[in-house]
Amino acid sequence: MFAGKTSYLLRSLSADARCFEQREQRGVLIRSTRDRRYGGAVVAHSGVDASATLRELSVPIVYADENNFVAKLTSCAHDANFVYVDELQFFANDVPTAERVCDALRTLSCGKMIICAGLDYDYARKPFPIMAPMIASANAVERLHARCSICGRSAQYTARKRSAFATANAEDDPVGGAEKYEPRCADCHHAIA
């Protein structure tokens, strides 16, 4: 978290969108219904709100959950040349679902540009089931890192703040921002574990 994944995705979308009209191409952004931060608007942790830009570029936002992601992806990507998926880790909580999602993305990738952003690990450093097979089948992978909130080094992990454990449904709603999580390097993450 806090490495700029959504900002990077939105910059890519914005740059690609300049070509959409010239080449009569379309793009679509798929987001998780679980991500209710910022009232559902497309906002990065940096505070950049891309909702107006997406409307201006005529890029539809499609909301999906783990149960309907493959169907919505297949449906909306049919007419799109560029597919952007934000918070990919929310679309598969188990290996069979991850395999279905990866198969669908691989099938659609023929003739389409698919750009996904997501986390490799949760706050307990458990890998999200979808990320390893997606990384293995990707044409290119860019790893972004935040700065550790403790020492300032490159942060590969996310730590859940102690105050986030105090909420009644902390495990039921893992989605959050700076109020729940902070970036940590491996050494500082081990220090609190």
Name the superfamily (CATH) of residues 5-144. Answer: P-loop containing nucleotide triphosphate hydrolases (3.40.50.300)
pTM above 0.85, yes or no: no
Annotated active-site residue 87? The verdict is yes
- The domain locations on the chain are 5-144, 147-192
Which three-class secondary structure string do you get for 152-169?
CCEECEEEECHHHHCCCC
Q: pLDDT tens for residues 79-94? A: 888 888 888 888 888 8
The span from the CA of 178 to the CA of 172, in Å, is 18
Q: pLDDT tens for residues 130-177? A: 888 888 888 889 999 889 989 999 998 888 877 655 554 545 556 666
Q: Which of 37, 55, 69, 48 is nearest to 6 (CA)?
A: 48
Q: pLDDT tens for residues 120-136? A: 888 888 898 988 888 88
How does DSSP assign 119-156, residue by residue?
Answer: -SB-TTSPBPTTHHHHHHH-S------EE-TTT-SEE-
In the numeric block, which tokens belong to residue 179?
Answer: 């109020």
Q: What is the second-level CATH architecture of the domain 147-192?
A: 2-Layer Sandwich (3.30)
Q: pLDDT tens for residues 23-39? A: 777 888 888 887 666 66
Catalytic residue, chosen from 21, 87, 171, 182, is 87
